[in-house]
Amino acid sequence: MKVSISVEHLVNGSGITGVASCGPLAAICGRGHCNDLTVSTTLQSVAFGTEPGLAPLSAPATIEEWWLSAVALGGQGRYAQARAALNVVDRRTAGLAADGDCVYASLSASTRASFLRQTGWHAKASYDDGRALAIVAGRGDSPELVAAACDALTGLAADALGQGRLALGWRLLERCAEQINRLEGESARLWRQVIRLEWVSAELALASGDFTPALRHAERAVELAAGGDSLRHKVKSDLLRCAALTGFDPGQAAMLAGEVFDECRSSGLLPLAWASSMLIEGVSGSPTTPNSAALGAAVAARGGVFRELSL
């Protein structure tokens, strides 16, 4: 007998998102329910606001809501469900030529790339990021189109970093900065893109062993994120600052990363909890609770497929 499972079940099924199924990792599996708010408001708050760990999510209806669902689920490490939500975005935007549809088609591709990159698949991610850029290239200078292009460019820069192509990464960031500068006076609408530019700048500097500029970019990201509502962006900016501090004071870096780790656990940000655990264990030599192996296993259980690294 063939069993049909709806996308709505994949996104909201209690067997996947329920806290009770998470065992010792329940503290980072989800926080409360979001049924008392409008769908768009709730999804915005989870994806880019103050409640990134809320689960289960309200059922999305519009293309924007499906994309917000994917972002929210990805932030919680629910990669299989997030990819299912992106599949809906792709189906609903396929063959459509309106700018709004192209924007979400591009955002879907760059979001999919970010999930690959977070689990080590930088080369594969570059294909999706390249597609994201191609979808919106040459279509105009509206803030929405520029934002999508910048997401693709910073993604491509991070993909290049992961493949050891640092010079290419910097050139791509220069193109991103040029895009942002073309919309002078619209920086408030491009807040994510400006923060991401600082993130990847810090990461490229770290990859070169240049801790001073890395710290400068990370602290700028912290400053920018502090002016917004997105807890996830604040936490990731703090984590990057900790990484940059390892070049100056490893003990302080590990201590501050411990605070980031605790915030990730209480906020349901599993991928960032795993990343902060890796940093702490690498710097201090002491395991976190849960440790990075357990957190990585939890990510894998939710659909995150890690690339095996060879020395």
Contact 295, 25 (CB under 8 A): yes
CA 76 to chain CA mean position, Å: 9
Q: What percent of the chain has pLDDT over 90?
A: 80
> How many CB atoms lie under 10 A from the CB of residue 192?
18
Taking 80 as the threshold, does the pLDDT of residue 2 lie above it? no
CB-based burial of residue 255 (10 Å sphere; 0-12 exposed, 13-18 middle, 19+ buried)?
A: middle
What band does 7 get if pLDDT is binned at 50, 70 and 90? very low
Q: Residue 248 pLDDT > 60, yes or no? A: yes
What pLDDT score does 235 carry?
Answer: 99
Residues 6 or more apart in contact with residue 101 via CB below 8 angstroms: 63, 92, 93
Give the amino acid at 131: R
Handedness of CA 210, 311, 152, 59 (dihedral sign): negative
Q: Which of 229, 234, 292 has its CA nearest to residue 260?
A: 234
Q: Region 220-226: what's the mean pLDDT?
A: 98
pLDDT of residue 250: 98
Amino acid at 7: V
d(CA 147, CA 110): 11
Show Cβ contacts of residue 43 under 8 Å, excluding neighbours closer than 6 positions: 57, 58, 60, 65, 68, 69, 72
Domain ranges of the chain: 1-94, 98-208, 212-303
- Token pair in block for residue 45: 């708050």
Does pLDDT of 151 surpass 70? yes
Residue 17 has pLDDT above 70, yes or no: no
Residue 306: φ, ψ to 5°? -80, 140
The confidence score (pLDDT) of residue 51 equals: 96
Three-state secondary structure readout of the chain: CCCCCCHHHHHHCHHHHCHHHHHHHHHHCCCCCCCCCCHHHHHHHHHHCCCCCCCCCCCCCCHHHHHHHHHHHHHCCCHHHHHHHHHHHHHHHCCCCCHHHHHHHHHHHHHHHHHHHHCCCHHHHHHHHHHHHHHHCCCCCCHHHHHHHHHHHHHHHHHHHHCCCHHHHHHHHHHHHHHHHCCCCCHHHHHHHHHHHHHHHHHHHHHCCCHHHHHHHHHHHHHHHHCCCCHHHHHHHHHHHHHHHCCCCHHHHHHHHHHHHHHHHHHCCHHHHHHHHHHHHHHHCCCCCCCHHHHHHHHHHCCCCCCCCCC
Prediction pTM value: 0.90
Cβ–Cβ under 8 Å, residues 160 and 126: yes
- The predicted structure's pLDDT at residue 185: 77
Q: Which CATH superfamily is domain 98-208 in?
A: Tetratricopeptide repeat domain (1.25.40.10)
pLDDT, residue 96, reads: 80
